[in-house]
Amino acid sequence: MGLTERRKLATQEHIARVAAELFTLRGSSETTVEVICDQAEVGVRTFYRYFRTKQDAIAPLLALGARRWLQLLADIPAEVALPDAIEDAARQALTDCDSATLSSYEWTRGLLRAAKEDPALRAVWLKVNDDSEQDLLTLLAERTGARPDGLETRLLAAQVTAALRVAVETWALSKTSTDPSKIIASYAAASIRAVTAELREERQG
């Protein structure tokens, strides 16, 4: 990746972090493109060079977590059973956190709460999950040798993605103040076990 491209990505991520913080602190109605630009110290034209709407600005940050867990799954040896690999990758992605990742949980909670009142914000969240599902579909096909357009592979990718999404949303909309990484990881593990139960039974049988 060249220097220019790295600078563009850095600018994009900077705007995304500022937007996420504003949505969390002020809510959607009080977070405008102009406010985001003022806080991020970028021009409005620069903002629209990267994003179509204020809601779109958070997509790069939301996508970071998805990319992290998919990379962890890709790194797990092929001989590890698929249900175990999926659960292990998700648990590691959610619990092996540095301080920056831990702080990101709070703005994630704020964003998902704000999304309840802002359909456009929720649409961005769902689009990130849909993109993650497509990437997972490719990864599952490579790992299992199955066709990516096969019903079972597509269904598994959809179920696992939904399991992780519901785990994060359940925590975000709750009032718990317990360590978010542990809570989300436990929700995710339970959800993944539920959707991979048939795979485990086939393996044991």
Chain segment 28-75, per-residue pLDDT in tens: 999 999 999 999 999 999 999 999 999 999 999 899 888 999 999 999
The answer to pTM > 0.95 is: no
Q: How many CB atoms lie within 10 A of CB 132?
A: 22
What pLDDT band is residue 204 in, cutting at 50, 70 and 90? low
Place of tokens 């497509």: 134
Instruction: Categorize the per-residue pLDDT at 183 as very low, low, confident or very high, splitting at 50, 70 and 90.
Output: confident
Residue 202 confidence (pLDDT): 65
Cα-based torsion angle of the residue sequence 50, 173, 131, 15 in order, rounded to the nearest 10 degrees: 20
Out of 1.10.357.10, 3.40.50.720, 3.40.50.300, 1.20.140.10, the CATH code matching 58-204 is 1.10.357.10
| pLDDT at 73 (0 to 100) | 96
pLDDT tens across 137-157, in order? Answer: 999 999 999 998 999 999 999
- Contacting residues for 67 by C-beta, under 8 A, at least 6 apart: 135
Superfamily (CATH H level) for 3-56: Homeodomain-like (1.10.10.60)
Residue 174, SS3?
A: coil
Cβ(134)–Cβ(74) under 8 Å? no
Eight-state DSSP code of residue 97: -
Other Cβ atoms less than 10 A from the Cβ of 175: the count is 4
> Where along the chain do its domains lie?
3-56, 58-204
pLDDT category at 12 given cuts 50, 70, 90 is: very high
